[in-house]
């Protein structure tokens, strides 16, 4: 079974700092990896989707990378803002089964 781990579980940074969130997975046979943002009491908002054939995806201040062979993905957030405060989840879709496997998330707090 695919296991997805996100480290750290919580992160607090001052505004303006660049930061990296980490996601690791045990089965490298994946179709894609998706990063989500979840605000307290809210649903999941898709941030970036990386196909298995891609190395990275960018959207604004966000950049996600994928290294299938090592089972890792990183989400880079540039020039962090208080509005970036949320929980960030990564999820992978493997060849077997028909579901996403989720990590438990990194709770990010950006201090003004």
Residues that bind another protein (CB under 8 A): 4, 31-32, 34, 36, 41-46, 49, 51-52, 89, 91, 93, 98-105
If one counts every other C-beta atom within 10 angstroms of the C-beta of residue 59, the result is 12
By the 8 A CB rule, do 91 and 4 touch? yes
Q: Which residue's CB is nearer to another protein, number 71 or number 103?
A: 103
Q: Which residue's CB is nearer to another protein, number 48 or number 110?
A: 48
Nearest CA among 37, 33, 23 for reference residue 80? 37
Taking the complex as a whole, how short is the minimal distance between the CB of residue 55 and another protein, in angstroms?
A: 16
Which segments within the chain are labelled E, that is strand? Answer: 4-7, 10-14, 19-25, 30-38, 44-51, 56-59, 62-67, 72-77, 86-94, 100-102, 106-111
Taking the complex as a whole, how short is the minimal distance between the CB of residue 107 and another protein, in angstroms?
A: 12
Q: Which residue's CB is nearer to another protein, number 18 or number 104?
A: 104
Taking the complex as a whole, how short is the minimal distance between the CB of residue 72 and another protein, in angstroms?
A: 17
């Amino acid at each position: 079974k695919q296991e997805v781990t996100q480290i750290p579980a919580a992160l607090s940074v001052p505004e303006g700092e660049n930061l990296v969130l980490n996601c690791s997975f045990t089965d490298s046979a994946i179709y894609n990896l998706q990063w989500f943002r979840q605000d307290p009491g809210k649903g999941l908002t898709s941030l970036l989707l990386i196909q298995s054939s891609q190395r990275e995806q960018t959207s604004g201040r966000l950049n996600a990378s994928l290294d299938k062979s090592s089972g890792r993905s990183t989400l880079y957030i540039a020039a962090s803002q208080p509005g970036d405060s949320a929980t960030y989840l990564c999820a992978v879709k493997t060849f077997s089964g028909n579901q996403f496997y989720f990590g438990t998330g990194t709770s990010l707090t950006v201090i003004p």
